[in-house]
Amino acid sequence: MKARHIGLSLCTTLALFGTASNFASGVDTTVPIHEKGAATYYVSVSVNERVVSDFLVDTGSGYVTINSDTLRQLMHEEGVVFVKKIAAVMADGSETVVPVYRLASLKLGDGCVIRDVEAAVMPGRTTNILGLSALKKAAPFTLSLTPPALALTNCNTGSV
């Protein structure tokens, strides 16, 4: 199978749109995020109701990325389907071919469920990343750093 070339940025490129008080109207769900130094922000994510991990919020990443350890924990679950392989461009400019899987659901915090999300799988124990393949599904969204939160408009709420 020929790999498709899709840029995957592993650097954080977050934009500040304001405070929680001026989030877009019509917001369905506000999910807290937390800073882990060096101006990086993370959100607690439950993948397919099975694996809970902190994901780096990265609007510069085209895909959600999970590491191979996270995939290994999910492989015997329903809702994990191989989709394709892509050529991922790493932050240092190098390229590697990685598999992409469709995950049945990501639950951000306690209330925002995003269904059928494509996730690129990175080798080893790299940081899991909440990228645009999920964020676009919950758009429009707003990122606030004071207080740290994601406001997401198109979430499925409740249980996964």
Q: What is the pLDDT of residue 26?
A: 53
Q: Mean pLDDT, the chain, as a whole number?
A: 81
CATH of 4-11+29-152, one of 3.30.565.10, 3.30.70.250, 2.40.70.10, 3.30.500.10: 2.40.70.10
Helix ranges (H only) for the chain are: 68-74, 132-135
Q: Does residue 17 carry a pLDDT above 50?
A: no
Q: What is the pLDDT of residue 20?
A: 39
* 60-75 pLDDT, tens digit each: 899 999 999 999 999 8
Contact between 86 and 100 (Cβ < 8 Å): yes
Please tell me the pTM assigned to this model.
0.79
Q: Does residue 108 carry a pLDDT above 60?
A: yes
Taking the domains of the chain in order of start, what are their residue ranges?
4-11+29-152
Between the CA of residue 18 and those of 44, 58, 59, 146, 151, what are the distances in Å? 22, 17, 16, 8, 11
Q: Does residue 148 carry a pLDDT above 80?
A: yes
